Amino acid sequence: MTSGNPKRASNTLFSPFRFEKNPRACRIVCTIGPSSQSSTILEKMLLSGMNVARLNFSHGNQKSHGEIAHEIRKTAQRLMKPIAILQDLQGHKVRVGNVQHPPSICLNEGQEILLGHGETVSNKRIGIDYQDISHSVTPGQHVFLDDGSIELEVLSTQGDDLHCQVNLGGELHSRKGVIFPDSHLSFPLLNEKDEKDAHFGVSLNVDMVAMSFVRSATEIIEMRLRLAAWGKKDSFIVAKIEDRKGIDNLDEILHVADAVLIARGDLGVTLPREKVPGIQKTIIQKANTFGVPVITATQMLESMIYHDKPTRAEVNDVYSAVIGGSDAVMLSGETASGRYPLHAVREMDRICREAEKELRNFKGEIPVRGRQDMHDKMAASAVNLARNTKARCILAFSLSGATLKALSAARSNVPVYGIVVEEQVLRQLLLHWGHSLITMPHEEKLEDLIGPALRQLQEQGIVRTNDRIVVMASEAEPGAKETYLFKLYLLK
């Protein structure tokens, strides 16, 4: 144990960010849209707990998303608070065309209608943006429109069209999604729109890219190669799990993805709704075991699109997702187009913090999680050491982010304060559970960073006299490929 304050460095190492005095461990992802894209609302959302800003490329255009990304970065810089930008590509979702006589058509139960490739939607035929659909769908299979609110059954094929009967009717608007739960459709890795949008995302230097309907590890690997060819060599790819194929291949996806997102909306359409809670639990548990961040998404505080308070069921849903092991929870329409985006973020923050109180009461030995490499083993040891010595916090240093990722997987029940050199690395850590992060300039000797970091913790009132702090780092030493460092400081 090292007793006393470390020697004061001759100069203070400046960081553009400040530690959070009371950091929340579970991350909050907020979709940015018309309700939240102003600098005033962005600032308040960031101060209220938003960690990741999601740009949904199913809506808007490149110009509008570029302007929003610029505003997000400008706001974060002004507030000295880091935030990551997640680009969510539309993906290969089939959509209907445009209603011939807006705003909608009414489909009645028992009505028969054709469905096939085309741009127009009428009461006689529904045009969709997928060619040769009759080659992939057979009589007796089902088709869902508008996220499952309308259900069709295929009676027969007529040339390139499907002859369908409406089993569950409703109003159909332009550009609504179409799902074929019983069929396997073929899609390229990126359609024309996604290719242009992904390339645009590289030019924006987005921190993360979400791929829709990921069904295999190969798709992630190919996407990473594509981004690297465009100049994004340090890509962070979020795999959205949205159908049975993605669930069946979850283990191989977790081996190569940087994070996974549980898209409960599409899962609830492509699979029986009653199976989704169990699937959510399975995905979270497997992701936790692999040390891969997992985002739980869709309809978490859905009622807050129109109301300033959530339902009790929604509060329970978020709380359970945090207790169950989610690294992040996501707001969609609540912050993109809802009436109360700021209320939604604050509500999410309160629920997460309450759930984390329960998690901090865990008294057992922390197991080794993640991919079981040396970083994961050392991280589990650091968390157990902090608990056994009643340390105030863990202070971790990492160049690549590997040490901090391992600490995240270990689920420390004391706060973790992390130091990285590059801001890009910091932002890509913002989907990982449990860190408050800052950057500091690189120093040849780790000791030259420990002093300024501890002083900042003291100056912000995070640690004080007689507190114990576990310091963890991985660095190269002469004659060694890698050295893992632990120190236990007792401040005087």
Strand partners, 183: none
Tokens of 75: 């706001």
Question: What CA–CA distance (Å, rounded) separates 232 from 204?
Answer: 11
Rounded Cα–Cα distance for residues 276 and 279 (Å): 5
Give the pair of three-digit tokens for residue 343.
């209320």
Question: Residue 106 is encoded by which pair of tokens?
Answer: 């009414």
Distance from C-alpha of 232 to C-alpha of 225, rounded to nearest angstrom: 9
298 given a catalytic annotation: yes
The catalytic residue among 24, 176, 240, 264 is 240
357 is catalytic: no
Q: Is 244 a catalytic residue?
A: no
Query: From the candidates 95, 226, 245, 455, which is the catalytic residue?
Result: 95
CB 82 within 8 A of CB 430: yes
Residues ≥6 apart with Cβ < 8 Å to 220:
211, 214, 237, 239, 253, 256, 257
Q: Answer whether 309's CB lies under 8 Å from 302's CB.
A: no
The active-site residue, picked from 75, 298, 335, 403, is 298
The answer to whether the CB of 487 falls within 8 A of the CB of 475 is no
Bridge partners (DSSP) of residue 435 are 416
Q: Which of 54, 176, 215, 468 is catalytic?
A: 54
In this structure, which amino acid lies at residue 76? A
411 is catalytic: no
C-alpha 469/C-alpha 104 separation (Å) is 62
Positions marked active-site: 54, 95, 240, 298
